Structure 1
Amino acid sequence: MAQRLGVAAGTLRSWERRYAIGPAVRVAGKHRRWLPEDIARLEEMCHLTGQGVPPAEAARAARLKAAGEFRYEEDPLPTGARPSGGPATLPLGPVRAECRGLARAAVRLDADAVEALLDRAIEDHGCVVAWEEIIAPTLHAAGRKWASAGERYIEVEHLLSWLVSSTLRRRHEPRPPLRESVRPILLACAPGELHSLPLEALWAALTERGLPVKMFGPSLPAEALIEAVRRVGPSLVVVWAQARPAAAAELVGAVEGIKWGVRGARFHSALLVAGPGWNCVPRANTRRLTGLRSGLTLIEQLLAD
């Protein structure tokens, strides 16, 4: 039930204890059995608390509505119960149910619930599906929300981003054995680029497949990137940029020109660029990662070649 609603299990127990928002019928043992009317009360409770209504008032309204004695449109809550600026929901559109649960938990700033939902999404679906169908749509909706509401809801986007990053890093153990014969894949953000979450998702997905990866994170200076390529000798280099990097064409040329290995048998690392920042760099258009799933396919093909 907690997963379905996007709240922590402790929150559900607290609501049941404090406000009598729980199963109407209890059975012997430690299990709770939720009937459709119980679920409807909880969904209304989540809806109202997500709008900023105090829990006690939200519980009263949810119970009355379930009993047919309360209509939200005709019996508005007291003045000041709801924040101005419309409902505190994220503009998601048609998405998976897990995405809506994650969005509700993020709007409530319920960090425990967000972490639990992120863990479950990756465990159930793997990094690719979890990122493309659950995490990324929620992040984009959070960004659109605070962009359209001034500085309001920016805390939702910050909390969600931090927890996504923490979850991806925490779940770093590869499922298959590492492919010892493959040279490492080097991941870095372009100089000045601080948005690294999509690159962290790629790191997690590659690690999930047992591929050796070295992550250098946000805003790696060009000289440091070139030195890292020389020292690591990677099979592939992926550089992410949300905004156009400074001296982008020169950076591409410098990385592609590096050779590594013993004299007489030196190799080039294949360079891949990712992110909208490379859209206007003609030299970078030959090898682009345009999404996590398609990017993984391209990487696997290059490694096989």
Structure 2
Amino acid sequence: MKVEEQPLTPPVVGMSTGAVAQRLGVAAGTLRSWERRYAIGPAVRVAGKHRRWLPDDIARLEEMCHLTGQGVPPAEAARAARVKAAGAFGFEDDAPATGGRAPGGSAALPLGPVRAECRGLARAAVRLDGDAVEALLDRAIEDHGCVVAWEEIIAPTLHAAGRKWASAGKRYIEVEHLLSWLVSSTLRRRYEPRPPTRAGVRPIVLACAPDELHSLPLEALWAALTERGLPVKMFGPAFPVEALIEAVRRVGPSLVVVWAQARPAAGAALVSAVEGVRWGVRGARSHSTLLVAGPGWNSVPQAGTRRLTGLRSGLTLIEQRLAN
């Protein structure tokens, strides 16, 4: 009996819109809008509707992202991207000179070997595309959780932005500031308010040293502790020693974490002052365990074994202290 041969289903090729958006650091809705308005869509569709972007399609989008990041109006950028792509196949290239292709070239952040999500976030930040940055931050936290999102995606991008403006005559300060603000607002939006779920644990107090204005790493710790269901009270940047002592006395925390990016003034005195606080009723007074975080404590001998050296390892140390 002859068996009829079944037609082979052609393999699905190319990347989905979501994957391309993540790679380029733009919102998926932005890609669909560009396709509708400027005819810069993919060459392949699966089952009639599902878009599949081929390397040539992605190259056009990269050029589009680069040009819009340079301030070129979207319609003109799309036309130039199409012409430049055509020029790669032997047609005349009349695209305006822009000083290189994105997302590489002189405008790219110095990332090194990192995750694809990190590169997408960096591209969106350089373009000052706040909507795309927020969407990528949300997706990173949703997919990976706070610790991985911070250590492998957010922090490398922030560090690269800082290196970029330090080496470019402070030209990229706006990129770092926008990214920092959106990271902070995203963490607070996703993790507050969220009631603690760990019963029987006294609050953990987080504060920056009195002269420390950079609180973003401490906010990441706050988010990670909140994600684990622990009760946390955040007091933010530049918290005076007297106010920290009063907060410890009133809250009665299990742990106090003080962050310092630069060496804190009178760091040894701060350690002694916080550790000397006793709270609770007479006859049953207790004290909190002080931990310190940030490179500012590296040269403070009194910091000792109290130092948290990273978010993941810091969480492990905190859990160990809570278990004792």
What TM-score do the two structures reach when normalised by structure 2? 0.85
Instruction: Tell me the alpha carbon deviations over residues 6-39 of structure 1, each in whole angstroms, 9 at most, x when there is no partner.
Output: 1123321332233311123457765433344323
Q: Quote the Cα distance in structure 2 between the aligned partners of 1:228 and 1:10.
A: 46
Residue identity matched to 1:135: I
- Per-residue deviation, 1:68: 5.3
Residues 1:169 and 2:169 aligned together: no
Change (3 A) 1:113 1:88: same
Q: Quote the Cα distance in structure 1 between the aligned partners of 2:114 and 2:232.
A: 31
Change (3 A) 1:189 1:157: same
| Alignment partner of 1:139 out of 146, 155, 158 | 158
Residues 1:220 and 2:206 aligned together: no
Change (3 A) 1:222 1:78: same
- Per-residue deviation, 1:292: 0.1
Stretches of structure 1 lacking an aligned partner (at least 5 in a row) = none
Instruction: Tell me the alpha carbon deviations over residues 86-144 of structure 1, each in whole angstroms, 9 at most, x when there is no partner.
Output: 62111100000000000000011111100000000001000000000000000000111
Answer whether contact 2:121 2:157 (CA < 8 A) is retained: yes
Answer whether contact 1:176 1:209 (CA < 8 A) is retained: no
Q: Quote the Cα distance in structure 1 between the aligned partners of 2:195 and 2:51.
A: 38
Residues 1:284 and 2:282 aligned together: no
Higher radius of gyration, 1 or 2: 2
CA RMSD of aligned residues (A): 2.5
Q: Quote the Cα distance in structure 1 between the aligned partners of 2:52 and 2:155.
A: 33
1:188 corresponds to which residue? 207
Change (3 A) 1:61 1:43: same
Q: Quote the Cα distance in structure 2 between the aligned partners of 1:130 and 1:88.
A: 24
Question: SS where residue 90 of structure 1 aligns?
Answer: coil
More displaced 10-residue stretch of structure 1: 212-221 or 255-264? 255-264
Answer whether contact 2:198 2:229 (CA < 8 A) is retained: yes
2:282 corresponds to which residue? 263
Residues 1:23 and 2:42 aligned together: yes
Residue identity matched to 2:144: H
Q: Quote the Cα distance in structure 2 between the aligned partners of 1:89 and 1:67.
A: 24
2:174 corresponds to which residue? 155
2:61 corresponds to which residue? 42
Instruction: Tell me the alpha carbon deviations over residues 189-232 of structure 1, each in whole angstroms, 9 at most, x when there is no partner.
Output: 00011100000000000000000000000000010001100000
Residue identity matched to 1:19: Y
**Aligned residue pairs, count:** 300
1:235 corresponds to which residue? 254
Q: Quote the Cα distance in structure 2 between the aligned partners of 1:18 and 1:207.
A: 43
More displaced 10-residue stretch of structure 1: 22-31 or 123-132? 22-31
Q: Quote the Cα distance in structure 2 between the aligned partners of 1:275 and 1:232.
A: 24
**Residue pairs, 1:78-117, within 5 angstroms:** 78-79=96-97, 81-82=98-99, 87-117=106-136
More displaced 10-residue stretch of structure 1: 150-159 or 214-223? 150-159
More displaced 10-residue stretch of structure 1: 240-249 or 31-40? 31-40
Q: Quote the Cα distance in structure 2 between the aligned partners of 1:223 and 1:175.
A: 29
Percent of matched pairs sharing the same residue: 88
More displaced 10-residue stretch of structure 1: 264-273 or 55-64? 55-64
Question: SS where residue 290 of structure 2 aligns?
Answer: strand
Q: Quote the Cα distance in structure 2 between the aligned partners of 1:76 and 1:201.
A: 47
- Per-residue deviation, 1:42: 1.8
Q: Quote the Cα distance in structure 2 between the aligned partners of 1:235 and 1:278.
A: 21
Residues 1:197 and 2:222 aligned together: no
Answer whether contact 2:80 2:96 (CA < 8 A) is retained: no
- Per-residue deviation, 1:268: 1.4
Question: SS where residue 245 of structure 2 aligns?
Answer: helix
Residue identity matched to 2:270: L
What TM-score do the two structures reach when normalised by structure 1? 0.90
- Per-residue deviation, 1:3: 2.4
Q: Quote the Cα distance in structure 2 between the aligned partners of 1:198 and 1:22.
A: 39
Q: Quote the Cα distance in structure 2 between the aligned partners of 1:23 and 1:116.
A: 22
Question: SS where residue 210 of structure 1 aligns?
Answer: coil
Question: SS where residue 271 of structure 1 aligns?
Answer: strand
Answer whether contact 1:196 1:217 (CA < 8 A) is retained: yes
